[in-house]
Amino acid sequence: MKWVFDMSSSTKQDILDAAEVLFAEHGFGDTSLRAITTKANVNLAAVNYHFGSKKQLIQDVLKRYLDVMMPEVDKQISVLMSNSSTPSMHQAFSVLVEPLLLLNRERPQGTSIFVRLLGRGYSESQGHLRKYIMHHWGDVLGRFVHVIKLADPELAPSELFWRLHFAIGTFVFTMASSKALSDISAADYQQQVDIEGIIHRLIPYISAGTAAPVAASVSTIKTTPTLDIA
């Protein structure tokens, strides 16, 4: 009998390490167990022995990151709230910076891998991932949403819902193309940009987007006068 949380076996760790890289690169559906076990130098059957199924392996890969990141998010929220009861939108989203960089310290490319996995899970798992996160980390996410609401109390809940997912999309796509984008940035603008640099470019964009005025109506472009950000 094998315990779920027994991490003494290096085989299990090796599988997780290999799987997360391949999942982030090619997606869940296009990453075979054979590719994972080959990269991990492990027998094919080991995945089903240790994880039961491919589906469970995917969930365990994400679980490992969430267990590191979410407590740090909780901590950063506490730090922010102890300093200010009326945070700016920029401050609100900045509580995510340290938790994201923590993943990068945990393992190479950790931030990029996690965010890409998050994106894959959102668009490929029929909402299963969202339910898992809400069940296990719903309270922390609730605190985060609360901070965002403090930063812009005028924002309607439904509008906030959409904009937070816009923010996720910005993150996911940017991380998925981070290497290509960094290369172009270096070649065309002589600007070396690492993960930390990308995150600090993302925060102002996401903050301003989330705090943007809501469109007045669903009418045509011509009628809308210049509504700009102050």
Does residue 1 bind DNA (CB under 7 A)?
yes
Does residue 164 bind DNA (CB under 7 A)?
no
* Residue choice 25, 53, 126, 201 for contact with DNA (CB under 7 A): 53
Output the six-digit token pair for 194: 């690492």
Does residue 90 bind its own copies (CB under 8 A)?
yes
Binders of its own copies among 6-45, rule CB under 8 A? 27, 29-30
Cβ nearer to DNA, comparing 10 with 84: 10
* Residue choice 31, 76, 104, 207 for contact with DNA (CB under 7 A): 31
Phi-psi group of 100: left, alpha or beta (phi > 0 → left; psi -120 to 50 → alpha; rest → beta): alpha
Gap between the Cα atoms of 222 and 210, Å rounded: 24
Instruction: Kindly state the smallest distance separating residue 201's Cβ from its own copies, in Å.
Output: 5
* Positive or negative torsion for Cα 15, 19, 22, 26: positive
Does residue 44 bind DNA (CB under 7 A)?
yes
* Residue choice 23, 65, 137, 171 for contact with its own copies (CB under 8 A): 171
80: buried, middle or exposed (CB in 10 Å: 19+, 13-18, 0-12)? Answer: middle
Does residue 224 bind its own copies (CB under 8 A)?
yes
Does residue 126 bind DNA (CB under 7 A)?
no
Instruction: Kindly state the smallest distance separating residue 119's Cβ from DNA, in Å.
Output: 19
Output the six-digit token pair for 92: 């609100």
Binding-site partner at residue 9 among its own copies, DNA, none, CB < 5 to 8 Å by type? DNA
Binders of DNA among 166-225, rule CB under 7 A? none
Binding-site partner at residue 166 among DNA, its own copies, none, CB < 5 to 8 Å by type? its own copies
Does residue 141 bind its own copies (CB under 8 A)?
no
Binding-site partner at residue 228 among its own copies, DNA, none, CB < 5 to 8 Å by type? its own copies
Binding-site partner at residue 157 among its own copies, DNA, none, CB < 5 to 8 Å by type? its own copies
- The binding site for DNA (CB under 7 A) comprises 1-3, 6, 8-11, 31-35, 42-50, 52-55
